[in-house]
Structure 1
Amino acid sequence: MSDKTNTLKYITLALLLSNSLLFSSCEKFVDIDKAPNQLPAGDAFKEDGTATGAVLAMYTYYTTTGSLPYYTFAGGVEADDIQYSYTSSTPAINELQQSAVSTTNSTVTNYLWIYPYAVIRQANLAIEGLKASTTLTSSVQAQLLGEAYFFRAFNYFYLVNYFGAVPLVLSANVMETGSLPRTGTDSVWTQIISDLKAAEASLPAAYTGTLRTRVNKYAASALLARAYLYREDWQNAITYSTEVIGAGTYSLPTPDSAFVNVSNEVILQYGTTTGYSFLGNNYRTSSSAGIPNYYLYPATANAFETGDKRRTAWVDSVIAGGTTTYRINKYKLATATAGNEYNVILRLAEQYLIRAEANAQLKNLDAAAADLNAVRTRAGLSNTTAATQYALLAAIAKERRLELFGEFAHRWFDLKRTGKVNEVIGAIKSNWASTAALLPIPATEIAKNKALRQNDGY
């Protein structure tokens, strides 16, 4: 059975269960009569099919809308990564681009706070339901539980990086969770790592389907490697990135085929029914002014070395009003009905760069250079000339910028975690204040939950 068929088989059920599970979590507030085609939360996890539908509901948040594109766009425009062209008509994105974000910013409220917590609520319901079930096939139960842990960790990863301390919601009971205060970042990171370890232990190495559109063991390992890198736990970052690199499942294709949905570099991608990515749609669709919604910072476009195949494959340009605009060309399709591009979430090149940085931090310089060179070789470049720890770390940081641009706020998070954000962003934004490194807690959430406290500067 193909991935698309497998997904469509459950899509209606997933959406119905999504609504049903959300309703069930609010029953203590108000008695809601359920529609005939909805299941109580407890019943959803009695059979393999309905339990699968309940977990696939978490994937449906990322098919066309939801937080996933804004995980990329918000961090991209805050950093020196991507720019937005509709600044006058979409003030929420303009605020992010100017690093002058209001507490009522709709993008922050809806896509960076509400959507992630909606998926976390789904994950909590699934975790509780799956653990309590005694009737599921054991292999199905294990896989679904691993997926739920992964989704919870994935969304907390972005919440803690965008907001810092956030409420750590681990229960589906809204009576208990609706008034939680913010939990310190160390505790949030501990939970992310705990969830990913649980996911890795529960998930199979083999993919369900053929196009790597559902979470497997190595997707959990890949996100674990990233989490440990961010926490400066260098040895564990090496351990988990090595699990992925050494799996024998992934390789580095030429840059022009890295983002097709059959790419062997892909560790995890979320499928679409049309075969084009929402990132490609925003990077390739031109506005009335002749430029795409989001485009590449000129400094990044000009930072590639001569002969870098990524520059040729992943960047092109248009001239509008006498100005050259650099378009992101990782995804080639702006639209399609049966295209060959999905939304790539995790890929192998990042794992090489994680291991390179961790080894450089531990002064394993030859190992760091070897992994850096794996990425450079794929790009058609010669080996790095960096020979000292300082030079290697600088070279790896540059390589991350050129390899991961336009993907999931990598550049923004890198600047913050390495202490470079004030230096780099302060040089390009005259109004920059260090407190802008964290987003404001939405005003509507503080109004509903008096235990929440606002970030500094807002």
Structure 2
Amino acid sequence: MKSYKIITKIILALAIGFNISCEELVSIDEPTDKLVRSQVFNSEQTIISAMTGIYNELYQSSFSNGSRNSITVLSGLSSDNIRNINTSNLERMEFEEHQINPENSYNLELWTSAYNMIYMTNSFLEGLESAENIDGELLLQLEGEARFVRAFTYFNLVNLFGSVPLILTTDYEENALTEKSNIETVYQQVIEDLELSAEILQSSYRTGERTTVNKSAAKALLARVYLYLEDWQTAERFSTEVINESSTYKILDSLNTVFLANSDEAIWQISPIGGGGIATNTNDGSIFVIDPFFSFFASIQLRDDFVQTFQQGDKRLEDWIGFNQSKNAYFAHKYKITASSEFPIVEYSMVLRLAEQYLIRAEARTKQGNLSEALNDLNIIRSRANLEDFQMLQPSITEEGLLNEIFLQRRKELFTEWGHRWLDLKRSERIQNIFGTSQNWEPTDIFYPIPSQELIKNPNLTQNDGY
């Protein structure tokens, strides 16, 4: 653990030019990282530790840590699944009310933490190019892992902010003045990174833990990317390839085991060990679960109208949703542990899991007119939730009716996970129907504002429409 923290600091030192550029782009000296880089990339042990440092940083970075300032919480607030308990936190209320000020510090943290992660992966990839006398298969594996993390980060950035700067090097002077790339160009880079990752990554997990990425993780994210791009055939192909890895991944009958560390449903998770402290609980558990004895710390609750979409007998209502009497509030209970310092770690923060792949394939098949096979995929998720097959409820199924049910099941299955509901509403153009009557809502609210601090530092950046 100590060596991981040291290497993380070295990687951060490599990224210091960009870290400073997120804070003070003007009047900085060129970072002198050549000596540090030569130290990191001169042995297999230090290279592996450097990649571990990147994974650990995902648990500390605002956008990916699952806590109050993460995509999971902030984009969850932007959707219609969760809301703030404490309305005095005005900056978080801005996400809920779709009135985000470009000077919002949470919005800034989403942006800067993502770009710091991108710079770390860029620095790591450049370092791999200079590595000598290192096993070639290991270098390919680590390249695939780093490219995956970069693609994953850009996927989130482009969906939150729209057109964003596409930064692929550690040239801090060039990066500091980079203009936005259009959404299509960013997606092209995401696909390029992921397809190469899917080609060179191993099928097994390098460490035996599902906190590193493998070939299936790259394919799972590719399935999501192609779904968002409405390339239904390719989305179906990649989700099928993941689903077919049945010796590794399974839909678990017990919902209370889904979010356990290295569960059979997990494709990729983030470990709390990346926090570097003594806590071994996930941030997701500590932010969403309303503790019966310390409810005054609670800041997030599920919306009542969302909870009411679950019918009686749905296991997700029973196992994934709790109720706190003192707050008179429902809360997400996917993660059970709010505070822990015990080993082994019981829960990891889920990023990619098999249930999403079935829902991706169901949607892709529906869009291609293959309603019967789409129903089979949908019913796997419904059956696990203890619901009857959908055709029992609607014998005369239309494409529109099936798509509506798939999106409803996505909402119920993936709530409080990585802003799925917010992104689903946007990509399916259903968002106007949900928020169009709200006094605060404007169509341009589908993208968050470019932080005003970044516009000051980079005169080539332009603000998103509506801000």
Shorter-chain TM-score: what band? over 0.9
Distance 1:284 1:42 in 2: 45
Residue in structure 2 matched with residue 284 of structure 1 by the alignment: 289
1:275 aligned to 2:280?
yes
Residue in structure 2 matched with residue 411 of structure 1 by the alignment: 421
Residue in structure 2 matched with residue 245 of structure 1 by the alignment: 243
Distance 2:17 2:139 in 1: 21
Give the counterpart letter for 2:55 in structure 1.
Y
1:454 aligned to 2:463?
yes
Residue in structure 2 matched with residue 433 of structure 1 by the alignment: 442
1:51 aligned to 2:44?
no
Residue in structure 2 matched with residue 4 of structure 1 by the alignment: none
Structure 1 runs not aligned, ≥5 long: 1-7
Residue in structure 1 matched with residue 87 of structure 2 by the alignment: 87
Of 302-311 and 350-359, more deviation after overlay is shown by: 302-311
Give the counterpart letter for 2:153 in structure 1.
N
CA contact (8 A) 2:321 2:334 kept: yes
CA contact (8 A) 1:20 1:41 kept: no
Q: CA deviation at 1:220?
A: 0.7
Residue in structure 2 matched with residue 167 of structure 1 by the alignment: 165
Residue in structure 1 matched with residue 276 of structure 2 by the alignment: none
Of 43-52 and 214-223, more deviation after overlay is shown by: 43-52
Residue in structure 1 matched with residue 432 of structure 2 by the alignment: 422
Q: CA deviation at 1:320?
A: 3.1
Distance 1:46 1:211 in 2: 25
Give the counterpart letter for 1:176 in structure 2.
E
Per-residue Cα deviation, 1:349-398 (whole angstroms, up to 9, x for no partner): 00000000000000011110000011111111111125221111011000
Distance 1:316 1:39 in 2: 52
Give the counterpart letter for 2:166 in structure 1.
L
Per-residue Cα deviation, 1:239-284 (whole angstroms, up to 9, x for no partner): 1101110012100112121111141100011112343110110011
Distance 1:145 1:353 in 2: 29
Residue in structure 2 matched with residue 30 of structure 1 by the alignment: 29
Residue in structure 2 matched with residue 5 of structure 1 by the alignment: none
Distance 1:210 1:285 in 2: 33
Q: CA deviation at 1:129?
A: 1.6
Of 137-146 and 60-69, more deviation after overlay is shown by: 60-69
1:304 to 303, 310, 314: 310
Distance 2:86 2:11 in 1: 33
Name the CA shift for 1:10/1:217 in 2 (closer, same or farther; >3 Å).
farther
Name the CA shift for 1:393/1:101 in 2 (closer, same or farther; >3 Å).
same
Residue in structure 1 matched with residue 107 of structure 2 by the alignment: 108
Q: CA deviation at 1:306?
A: 2.5
**Count of matched residue positions in the alignment of Structure 1 and Structure 2:** 443
Of 300-309 and 9-18, more deviation after overlay is shown by: 9-18
Distance 2:299 2:99 in 1: 20
Per-residue Cα deviation, 1:7-36 (whole angstroms, up to 9, x for no partner): x264123222223212377899526678xx
1:330 to 326, 334, 343: 334
Name the CA shift for 1:24/1:98 in 2 (closer, same or farther; >3 Å).
closer
SS in 1 for 2:62: coil
Distance 1:437 1:422 in 2: 10
Give the counterpart letter for 1:307 in structure 2.
G
CA contact (8 A) 1:291 1:320 kept: no
Distance 1:438 1:270 in 2: 26
Distance 2:168 2:32 in 1: 27
Q: CA deviation at 1:51?
A: 1.3
Residue in structure 2 matched with residue 3 of structure 1 by the alignment: none
Distance 2:149 2:339 in 1: 27
SS in 2 for 1:439: coil
1:317 aligned to 2:323?
yes
CA contact (8 A) 1:17 1:53 kept: no
CA contact (8 A) 1:252 1:264 kept: yes
Give the counterpart letter for 1:279 in structure 2.
D
Per-residue Cα deviation, 1:65-87 (whole angstroms, up to 9, x for no partner): 53212111111000101112222
1:128 aligned to 2:133?
no
SS in 2 for 1:51: helix
Pairs within 5 Å for 1:361-376: 361-376=367-382
Q: CA deviation at 1:175?
A: 1.7
Distance 1:353 1:15 in 2: 36
Q: CA deviation at 1:432?
A: 1.0
Distance 1:135 1:13 in 2: 23
Name the CA shift for 1:250/1:199 in 2 (closer, same or farther; >3 Å).
same
Distance 2:400 2:129 in 1: 48
1:12 to 5, 16, 20: 5
Q: Report percent identity of matched pairs.
A: 35
Give the counterpart letter for 1:265 in structure 2.
E
Give the counterpart letter for 2:80 in structure 1.
D
CA contact (8 A) 1:259 1:331 kept: yes
Residue in structure 1 matched with residue 452 of structure 2 by the alignment: 443
Of 373-382 and 225-234, more deviation after overlay is shown by: 373-382
Give the counterpart letter for 1:280 in structure 2.
G
Distance 2:116 2:75 in 1: 21
Of 360-369 and 271-280, more deviation after overlay is shown by: 271-280
Give the counterpart letter for 1:178 in structure 2.
A
Distance 1:383 1:32 in 2: 60
Give the counterpart letter for 1:133 in structure 2.
A
CA contact (8 A) 1:291 1:318 kept: no
Distance 2:307 2:234 in 1: 33
Name the CA shift for 1:301/1:348 in 2 (closer, same or farther; >3 Å).
same
1:381 aligned to 2:377?
no
Q: CA deviation at 1:218?
A: 0.7
Q: CA deviation at 1:334?
A: 0.5
Pairs within 5 Å for 1:65-84: 65-68=61-64, 69=66, 70-84=70-84
Of 248-257 and 39-48, more deviation after overlay is shown by: 39-48
Q: CA deviation at 1:58?
A: 1.5
Distance 2:60 2:436 in 1: 34
Per-residue Cα deviation, 1:162-212 (whole angstroms, up to 9, x for no partner): 100000001111122210111000111111111111111121110123331
Distance 2:128 2:8 in 1: 18
Name the CA shift for 1:211/1:157 in 2 (closer, same or farther; >3 Å).
same
Distance 1:270 1:393 in 2: 31
Pairs within 5 Å for 1:140-179: 140-179=138-177
Distance 1:164 1:173 in 2: 23
Give the counterpart letter for 1:105 in structure 2.
N
SS in 2 for 1:62: helix
